[in-house]
């Protein structure tokens, strides 16, 4: 839901320079946005937005999109609401996953600095 809405916003606002997607995939086609820095972070144990779903949506994102895999991470690690129904079993701690998520996010933020 959130990723889809973010993509719709970016699609209608050409001045947006970056897009950070956590445990989601695009709801629209941004593949022609060569000026857009995109990072998509996903968990290998995410059973809500599975790695296969992320892979199948790659054609909707620009070629320069950076994909970051959180090995052992689940969907609920991208929020702070506890376990989510239907999610997978984590094989990494929430703290370690969050550290990796923060580091990957920081790389995108650095790209966007003027």
Instruction: Return the domain boundaries, the chain.
Output: 2-112
- The class that CATH gives domain 2-112 is alpha beta
User: What is the chain's length?
Assistant: 114
pLDDT tens figures, 61-97: 999 999 999 999 999 999 988 888 999 999 999 999 9
Chain centre distance of CA 60: 13
Distance between CA 104 and CA 12 in Å, rounded?
26
54: which DSSP letter? H
Q: pTM for the complete prediction?
A: 0.94
Chain centre distance of CA 31: 15
pLDDT tens figures, 5-52: 999 999 999 999 999 999 999 989 999 999 999 999 999 999 999 999
């Amino acid at each position: 839901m959130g990723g889809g809405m973010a993509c719709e916003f970016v699609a209608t606002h050409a001045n947006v320079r970056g897009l950070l997607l956590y445990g989601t995939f695009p709801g629209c086609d941004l593949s022609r946005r060569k000026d857009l820095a995109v990072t998509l972070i996903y968990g290998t144990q995410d059973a809500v937005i599975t790695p296969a779903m992320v892979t199948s949506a790659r054609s909707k994102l620009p070629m320069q999109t950076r994909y970051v895999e959180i090995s052992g991470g689940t969907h609920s690690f991208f929020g702070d609401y506890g376990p989510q129904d239907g999610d997978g079993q984590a094989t990494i701690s929430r703290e370690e996953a969050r550290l990796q998520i923060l580091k990957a996010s920081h790389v995108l933020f650095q790209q966007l600095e003027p």
